[in-house]
């Protein structure tokens, strides 16, 4: 039997406690599967006196996570504190500098500093593994890095924020509005400390940037992800989409185009019958398309103690087995710089707007769209009882830049009331 593998765990919240429980409860199973004993040496959190529903008395306590990361008696630093910089980043850098392997669930830190950390890790012959950082319990990082390593990946897409999917599916199922469901999510404890991370698409954008790096051999570039949240989605949009055979999802898409790597996280209309269209509640789904394998659909719980701790454990077990894989599946110095794609793959768009109820108003809107080459597929006026008329337009496949110019020009007409809502239609 090899030497025990010694772990230092920083962060004893939802995920950290889940990991401690697995390590305590599955000692024999883990030893059988890795051929080594997995030992927690030391732990860290802010409050040393908090009751965490798990026994910690067997482990040394470090109030400073950087000190924990540098201890001589740990082999792996398990970072489960969160936060894109601050203590998580400092401690991760300290661990790597000391030649320790790092396991983390921190998508925010990796989205901002992933390339820098991967470079440091390689210089120190250390590892960073982060299965739990994307889609919680779904083994999507290992699927891309290992299971699909023989494929040229053409597209990765998915629903990677359970809170947004919960809000959108509950709007559909119950007819309650965004504001009521946002409040419910706050009461249920679903929201991140900064809710904009969820509803603004940032958390899901972080995750997409990590998948893109692996799938396309690119440096993590979160700044290049075109982000749009779900805050402006109204019940009306959910209902109109349903009427046309679609569901609205906060969908992330990364694909290599002739113009470069396109990465976007935004609400999209997707066909109701598609796997993503049928995804309910807080679950996640990632679809990967590869030249050899075709299409892979991975679904499951994207958050919570058990699923996220399960993913963290998969990384610890991988290291215990002696498997050593570059952070993003290939050496950091071979990852290419991508930058924002100058254009977005053309698509049909759903546009909801309110028009002054006056002769020629619709014609003016149609003219403005036509001038930019945006062709209308369907158009209808509905629910018309006020002074302004709600109008729904579905375009044919169009260039997003042309549509944006048309929308700017629409504002210059005297017939528009408020700002139109525009949602991409993603056929899959």
Query: What is the rounded (10 degree) CA torsion for 215, 347, 300, 304?
Result: 90
Least Å distance between CB 161 and ligand HSE? 4
Residue 299 makes contact with ligand HSE by CB under 6 A: no
Least Å distance between CB 128 and ligand NAP? 13
DSSP 38-51: EEEEEEE-S-TT--
Residue 184 makes contact with ligand HSE by CB under 6 A: no
Stretch (H or E) spanning 6: strand 5-10
Residues designated catalytic:
207
Is the Cβ of residue 303 or residue 392 nearer to ligand NAP in the bound state?
303
Alpha-helical runs (H) found in 217-335 = 235-243, 305-320
137 binds, among ligand NAP, ligand HSE, none (CB under 5 to 8 A by kind): none
Binding mask 191-210 for ligand HSE (x = CB under 6 A): -x-----x----x-------
Interaction residues for ligand HSE, span 227-286 (CB under 6 A): none
Is the Cβ of residue 36 or residue 107 nearer to ligand NAP in the bound state?
107
Alpha-helical runs (H) found in 62-156 = 65-70, 86-97, 107-123, 140-142
Structure tokens that stand for 280 in this block: 């309910």
When binding is defined by CB under 6 A, the residue of 158, 162, 201, 299 that contacts ligand HSE is: 162
Residue 136 makes contact with ligand HSE by CB under 6 A: yes
Q: In this structure, are strands 38-44 and 5-10 parallel, antiparallel, or unpaired?
A: parallel
- The residues with which 266 forms a beta bridge, in sequence order, are 251
Chain residues that interact with ligand NAP, rule: CB under 6 A:
10-16, 44-47, 50, 65, 80-82, 87, 105-107, 132, 136, 303-304, 308
Compute the radius of gyration of the chain from its Cα atoms: 24
16 binds, among ligand HSE, ligand NAP, none (CB under 5 to 8 A by kind): ligand NAP
Is the Cβ of residue 138 or residue 368 nearer to ligand HSE in the bound state?
138
- Residue 102 main-chain phi, psi, to 5 deg: -125, 135
- Residue 195 main-chain phi, psi, to 5 deg: -60, -20
CB 71 within 8 A of CB 91: no
Least Å distance between CB 348 and ligand HSE? 28
Count how many residues are written for the chain: 428
Least Å distance between CB 308 and ligand NAP? 4
Least Å distance between CB 348 and ligand NAP? 33
Is the Cβ of residue 210 or residue 268 nearer to ligand NAP in the bound state?
210
CB 248 within 8 A of CB 169: no
162 binds, among ligand NAP, ligand HSE, none (CB under 5 to 8 A by kind): ligand HSE
Least Å distance between CB 15 and ligand NAP? 4
- The residues with which 252 forms a beta bridge, in sequence order, are 158, 265
Q: In this structure, are strands 416-425 and 349-356 parallel, antiparallel, or unpaired?
A: antiparallel
Segment contacting ligand HSE by CB under 6 A, of 109-117, 159-167, 225-233, 350-358: 159-167
Is the Cβ of residue 67 or residue 235 nearer to ligand NAP in the bound state?
67
Report the SS3 class of residue 73: coil
Is the Cβ of residue 132 or residue 251 nearer to ligand NAP in the bound state?
132
Sign of CA pseudo-dihedral 408, 414, 419, 424? negative
Write out the residues near ligand HSE by the rule CB under 6 A: 136, 161-163, 192, 198, 203, 302-303
């Amino acid at each position: 039997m090899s030497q025990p593998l010694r772990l230092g765990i920083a962060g004893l919240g939802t995920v950290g406690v889940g990991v401690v429980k697995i390590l305590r409860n599955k000692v024999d199973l883990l030893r059988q599967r890795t051929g080594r004993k997995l030992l927690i040496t030391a732990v860290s959190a802010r409050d040393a006196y908090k009751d965490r529903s798990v026994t910690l008395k067997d482990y040394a306590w470090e109030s400073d996570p950087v000190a924990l990361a540098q201890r001589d008696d740990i082999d792996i630093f398990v970072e489960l504190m969160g936060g894109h910089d601050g203590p998580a980043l400092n401690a991760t850098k300290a661990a790597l500098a000391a030649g320790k392997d790092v396991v983390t669930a921190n998508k925010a830190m990796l989205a901002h500093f992933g390339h820098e950390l991967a470079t440091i890790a390689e210089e120190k012959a250390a590892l960073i593994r982060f299965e739990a950082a994307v889609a919680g319990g779904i083994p999507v990082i290992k699927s891309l890095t290992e299971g699909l390593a023989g494929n040229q990946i053409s597209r990765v897409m998915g629903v990677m924020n359970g809170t947004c999917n919960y809000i959108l599916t509950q709007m559909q199922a119950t007819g309650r509005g965004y504001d009521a469901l946002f409040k419910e999510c706050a009461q249920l404890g679903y929201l991140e400390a900064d809710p904009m991370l969820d509803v603004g698409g940032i958390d899901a954008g972080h995750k997409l940037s990590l998948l893109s790096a692996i799938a396309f051999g690119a440096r993590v570039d979160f700044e290049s992800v075109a982000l749009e949240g779900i805050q402006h989605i109204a019940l009306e949009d959910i209902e109109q989409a349903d009427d046309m055979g679609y569901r609205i999802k906060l969908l992330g898409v990364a694909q290599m185009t002739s113009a470069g790597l396109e990465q976007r996280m935004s609400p999209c209309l997707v066909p109701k019958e598609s796997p993503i269209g049928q995804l309910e509640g807080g679950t996640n789904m990632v679809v990967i398309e590869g030249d050899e394998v075709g299409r892979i659909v991975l679904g499951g719980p994207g958050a919570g103690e058990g699923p996220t701790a399960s993913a963290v454990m998969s990384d610890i077990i991988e290291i215990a087995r002696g498997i050593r894989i570059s952070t993003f599946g290939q050496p950091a110095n071979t990852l290419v710089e991508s930058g924002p794609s100058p254009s977005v793959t053309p698509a049909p768009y759903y546009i909801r707007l309110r028009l002054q109820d006056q002769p020629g108003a619709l014609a003016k809107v149609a003219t403005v769209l036509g001038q930019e080459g945006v062709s209308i597929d369907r158009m209808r006026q509905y629910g018309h009882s006020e002074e302004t008329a709600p109008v729904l337009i579905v375009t044919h496949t169009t260039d997003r830049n042309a549509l944006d110019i048309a929308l700017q020009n629409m504002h210059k007409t005297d017939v528009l009331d408020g700002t139109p809502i525009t949602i991409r239609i993603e056929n899959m």
